[in-house]
Structure 1
């Protein structure tokens, strides 16, 4: 995986090259693949963050209960989305490379 010749770089280069000559539908497919990959990464990150918040105590007059659990779940989903949109952990690039590889086989 030296000099940018890894599978992710190759798939992204293919996507970039095909985007230049692609029809609007093909460009939409690439955009949808990227969107799906980022969404997958966001869900993964949210699930990885969940254990960090499970043991936090919710003391006080308004702490705890079902509403607290729902709010925390939504908060972690949003954290995952923001982390993924701002570059994430690199999982979206790998997922997109696999999506493009599968589409090439069809």
Structure 2
């Protein structure tokens, strides 16, 4: 589906699967920051500490957040998806 841009050019609207994937990524990023703020970091990690854990704890947090988002998360992805879909429908 094509939709006009403000400069008069035309762009293709994103398909729903792309919008949903973007919404999941946003929720995962949000959840990763919340896990970090909640103290899920190298000091409380499951591996016993050390320089390696400090370096790689962000990877663990990010993966856990992505799994949480894919499993339904806190509903942020669905809200974002609906808003993105509505905006896409309005421009199309």
TM-score (norm 2): 0.70
Please list every run of at least 4 consecutive aligned residues from structure 1 whose deviation after the TM superposition is greater than 6 angstroms: none
SS of aligned partner of 1:47: helix
| Distance in 2, Cα, partners of 1:57 & 1:74 | 15
Cα offset for 1:100?
1.1
Q: Distance in 2 between matches of 1:43 and 1:102?
A: 22
1:102 to 74, 81, 87: 87
Larger helix share, 1 or 2: 1
Shift of 1:85: 0.5
Q: Mean Cα displacement is larger for which, 45-54 or 76-85? A: 45-54
Structure 2 residue ranges without an equivalent (≥5):
1-11
Out of 75-84 and 95-104, give the one that drifted further.
Answer: 95-104
Note the aligned Cα RMSD (angstroms): 2.4
Select 2:23's aligned residue among 20, 26, 37: 37
- Where structure 1 has 5 or more consecutive residues not aligned to the other structure, the ranges are 1-24
The number of residues matched between the two structures is: 77
Match of 1:84 among 69, 73, 79: 69
Structure with a larger share of its residues in strand: 2
Equivalents in 2 of 1:30, 1:79: separation in Å?
25
Give the whole-Å Cα distance in 2 for the aligned partners of 1:45 and 1:99: 19
The answer for the alignment partner of 1:20 in structure 2 is none
User: Partners in 1 of 2:42 and 2:49 — Cα distance?
Assistant: 14
